[in-house]
Amino acid sequence: MLNYFCVDYVFNFLKKCKNLTLKELIKYIVGLLVSITLISVNLIPLIRGGIFLIAEKEEDAIKIEGVIEELHELSSFGGYKYNFEQNNGESIVLNGVKYYLMTYDKLQVGDNVLIRVLPKSRLILEIRRQ
């Protein structure tokens, strides 16, 4: 719904920009910048691989074993809901590839883990220490 509003705002701006005063033009440019910001914030989860979640199924998951090379907390712009609480999630690098998970259960760099992951979105479904 929000994206529809933003796109509609842009089209209305383009229609009206022929006969605008400077004050109206500034108002529309500020609105346009706000719209672009809101659209980009909504696209962040899709850029992280969320678009693949539409087609991927739990049965597509593969198992990968390796040592955690890096752990990073994800930014709050792409936060996820986990057990009805806000969780920004984590990204881990395993065998040189970045994967995403909702909660990391006190994992540390150097831990040997076995993960079950969706291959396209790289979203970890299950993680176990070895």
pLDDT band at 18 (very low <50, low <70, confident <90, very high): low
- Percent of the chain having pLDDT more than 90? 15
Output 45 or 123, whichever has higher pLDDT. 123
DSSP character at residue 74: P
pLDDT of 6 > 70? The answer is no
Residue 1's pLDDT is what? Answer: 56
What CATH number does domain 54-129 carry, 1.20.58, 2.40.50, 2.40.30, 2.60.40?
A: 2.40.50
Which residues have a Cβ under 8 Å from the Cβ of 75 and sit 6 or more positions away? 44, 88
pLDDT of residue 120: 83
Whole-number percent of the chain with pLDDT over 70: 65
Nearest to 119 by CA among 44, 68, 52, 43: 52
**What average pLDDT is seen over the chain?**
77
User: Any residues with CB less than 8 A from the CB of 50 and at least 6 apart, and which?
Assistant: 121
Domain ranges for the chain, please list them: 2-47, 54-129
Residue whose entry in the numeric block shows the structure tokens 């790289």: 122
- Using CA of residue 42, residue 36, residue 76, residue 110, what is the dihedral sign? positive
pLDDT in tens, 49-104: 566 666 778 888 899 999 999 988 776 555 555 555 556 678 889 999 999 887 65
Q: Considering the entire predicted model, what is its pTM?
A: 0.56
- Nearest of 40, 67, 55 to residue 123 by alpha carbon: 55
